[in-house]
Amino acid sequence: MKVRLLKKHSKVLLCLGLILVMMSVIAGCSQQSEGTKDVQTVLTDNKPISGESPGPDLEHLWQEYIYDGIYTIGNTWEFDSVQGIDPAAVAQFCWLKYQEEKGIADLQPENEGNLSLLFPLADAQKYAERYFNLTTLDVSKIPDYYYKPEKQAFTFTPNLEDFKPFDTIVNGWGIRLDKVVRSNDGTLTVGVEYYTDNRVGSRHTFTLKERADGSLYFVDGRREFINNHLVALTGDIKEFQNIEGFSGDLQEVAIVGEAEGKLLLVYAPYNQSQSPALLLLNPNDMKVEQRVELSSRIESTEVKFSDGRWFVRFKDRVSVYSRDLEVLEEIPLPAIVAAKIEREQKYDSMGLADVYFGGYDISSDLSRIVYTDEIGVKLVTLEDGKEKLLAKTVGPKPSEPSRGALLTPSYHCFPRFVADERKVITTLTGYESTSGFTFCDLDKGTSTRVDIVIEGSLATGVIRYDTGLLFVNGYWYAESSRENNGQTDGYKTTFLDFHTGKVREIELSEPGDTGYIRFDDQSYIGRNFAAFVTSKRSGSDSINDRHYLNRIELGTLKPEQEIVSITAAAPHILGVLSDGRIVFWYQYNPAEKGICITSASSASSE
């Protein structure tokens, strides 16, 4: 991972997720035949503006309103009025229109060397009134990476699309204009279809009204997803439609522990208008039994359950909760740590951090805090405020040209107490990956590096139990050359044991496909078991892809493979219970989804 991306890693992950969704859509629509398509008419008392040969009115409607709305306001799946659209999406739509009419020559960059440009709020307001009939644009809840209050301007990158496809041509979004109907009062109802895997996966309807001068403005919109019954599951599982008492996005939920038969969840929504929360879930009926909302925003990586208590690491304090979500203590951070967090992160011309903070952890007895900055890993004793350097930032090694050599400093991030809190482990940053891990032995006063390179993971940031880290189908290089030998047997599954500090290999009889980036929800390391996903992709479309859930008993590291198979939708693992039950969810689209729990492992009763 690039250090310059860590300051907003949640934003980066979301952007990465959106890019992957786009790739999936493009792959799906590429299967469609090229050429024209017909716009369907609807026989009502209203006047349809459609036909076998769409006229210029349809093309103008597509170019001026619909196409740019697909990936801006279209991301708000349902709005009964324009006030219900995400204001940032409205601003993005207006940004596209501004560029079409005026270009970007007169706009100022956000700062020197930054590709983002300042789009004045006053200009955005003019376009918002034209296209949405909005006299004011509410910017109070727009994230600061989109809007700068002190400059009264949005920050957007220029649109690189030189040409908009005609409404009669298959486009990169896999979307076709389905029907357009004009009512007697001048209202236009526009229907578009989204294609996924050569099927209509959803339909989006926009309503626009016409002014006296012939211009249009958006009124409402609704996207309907279609259950094509493509997902097939096999195995001993119990399936639920959703979690009762929870209406958020499961991508923003993490299981941080288990106590007395209940699962302990943290909800860390990306949307700033929603509150993060701690939840107690009964896995037998998938019902939320208790919930407490948090007063400040957090990442899911900043919550842990240890010694029968929740620990929530805020920027200014640590809140300690009982298992039943009662506040036990509020511990202010030491001034030396709080000051490091409050600093504005600064980067040099190469995008490398001059001022850096990589997170912190607190021991279960509330006596010590470990944190990382641009200097290294530091331990603070709360009683006397004394600070000790445990390990320095790893310097670059430009003299070593082999694969894996550091060309930039490698910073420590996500420090965590492990091995009965006798050690601290950190993730070492690298170029678009991790460059390894560091163990700091608190008893011996030594530090040891473990060279494991992974991509797409927060690594030590997602530690939930004091057991270890699992790396599935990672590529290992020859020790002599550190270079890719080109053989598939270079892919190995390994387990890093926190207590011994050793890396042990796990033999998989069915490793599945290799050579792709694996994300954190494709594996989970629990108290007694770990679970992970393997996949066998068809190479054509996702409906023929097969995914498998696998389990490992941590005492023996013996794998139990392909206990559940899923076709068409990839599973996302939420957690593993102490008896080996795996909680996971899948979603082909919002109409075809589920949350499931597997049976227990036979090893749990031995």
Q: How many CB atoms lie within 10 A of CB 150?
A: 6
Residue 61 lies in a domain: yes
Which pLDDT score, from 0 to 100, does residue 145 have? 86
CA–CA distance, 569 with 559 (Å, rounded to integer): 23
H or E, element range at 122: helix 121-132
- The domain of 64 spans 31-225
Helix (H, G, I), strand (E, B) or coil at 56: helix
Residue 90 lies in a domain: yes
Number of domains, the chain: 1
Neighbour order of strands in the sheet with 277-282: 253-259, 262-267, 277-282, 287-293
Q: Report whether 452 contacts 436 (CB < 8 A).
A: yes
Residue 211 lies in a domain: yes
- Shortest CA distance to 177 belongs to which of 199, 216, 203, 215? 203
CA–CA distance, 254 with 165 (Å, rounded to integer): 41
550 token code pair: 């696998």
Which pLDDT score, from 0 to 100, does residue 397 have? 62
Q: Report whether 523 contacts 531 (CB < 8 A).
A: yes
Residue 39 lies in a domain: yes
- Kind of pairing between the strands at 237-240 and 232-235: unpaired
CA–CA distance, 322 with 339 (Å, rounded to integer): 29
H or E, element range at 315: none
Largest alpha-carbon pair distance within the chain?
A: 84
Residue 73 lies in a domain: yes
Residues 6+ apart with CB under 8 A from 518: 454, 455, 456, 457, 472, 473
Q: Where are the beta strands (DSSP E) in 8-132?
A: 47-48, 78-79, 117-120
Give phi and psi for 90, each to the nearest 5: -60, -45
Which pLDDT score, from 0 to 100, does residue 606 have? 58
Residue 97 lies in a domain: yes
Residue 262 lies in a domain: no
Ranges of residues in the chain whose predicted pLDDT is under 50: 1-56, 401-405, 479-488
Contacts of 320-324 with C-beta under 8 Å, sequence gap 24+, read 320/366, 321/278, 321/292, 323/259, 323/260, 323/264, 324/280, 324/290
The C-alpha angle 417, 420, 424, rounded to 5 degrees, equals 25
Which pLDDT score, from 0 to 100, does residue 344 have? 82
CATH number of domain containing 184: 3.10.450
400 token code pair: 């070593």
Token pair 């609807």 in the structure block, residue? 42
Residue 251 lies in a domain: no
Residues 6+ apart with CB under 8 A from 599: 236, 237, 581
